[in-house]
A = this chain, B = another copy of it.
C-alpha cells in the first residue's frame, strides 16, 4: 500500500539531519550534551578542526584534530558538508559520517556555527534547522561577560555577531529559547520526535 511504503522510506530508511545553532554563549553545547544522554539513538557528527587539542579533549570524539593543509584538501575535494573559520581556526563537518548514519536511518545532530548552518541548508534542503536563542540579548551579554577567559574586545565581537545572527533566524524552522535548561531539552526532544512524523514532500519546503 502506498501509504505504508512511503512511511517506510522516510521513517525507517533515512534519518533526519538536525542542525542546531545559535550565538556563542547561548549554551548550545550543554543542551546538546544532555539531549544525547536522553536520546541515545541520536548520532552526533564529530567536527574536524585545525585548532590545537585542549586538555581533556579526545581525538575522534571531541574533534578530529588536523593540520591546515589537510583541512584545505578536504574542502577542495568536497568532503566537508560545511566549514567556517572562527577565531583563526578552521572547523568543518565531514560529509561521509553524516551520510552514512542518515542512510542507516539515524537522526544526526550537527551543532555548528550559524554561518555553517546556512551552508548545510543549501546542500540539504530537508535539514531540520533549529535556532537556540537567549532569553534576551541582555542575558546573552551577561553570560558572555561572565566568561573570565576572554578579552573585552573578543566579547564585543561575539556580541556584535550574535546581534546579527538573531536577526537572521528566519532561515530556521524552530526557535528554542534557552531560559531554562530542562525546558529547552524537552523542547528539542519534542522537535526530534515530531520531525520523525513529518511527511516529506518531493519538493522541499
| A residues adjacent to B (C-beta < 8 A) | 1-4, 6-7, 131, 133, 136-137, 166-167, 169-170, 172-177, 186-187, 189-191, 193-195, 197-199, 201, 205
Q: Hey, which chain B residues are within 8 Å of A2, CB to CB?
A: 166-167
Q: Which of A3, A186, A205 has the most CB of B within 10 A?
A: A3
25 contacts between A and B (CB under 8 A): A2-B166, A2-B167, A3-B133, A3-B166, A3-B167, A3-B175, A4-B136, A6-B169, A7-B133, A7-B177, A131-B199, A169-B199, A173-B198, A174-B194, A175-B197, A175-B199, A176-B197, A186-B193, A187-B193, A189-B190, A190-B190, A190-B197, A191-B194, A191-B197, A193-B194
A205–B200 CA distance with the chains assembled, in angstroms: 13
The answer to whether B199 touches A172 (Cβ under 8 A) is yes
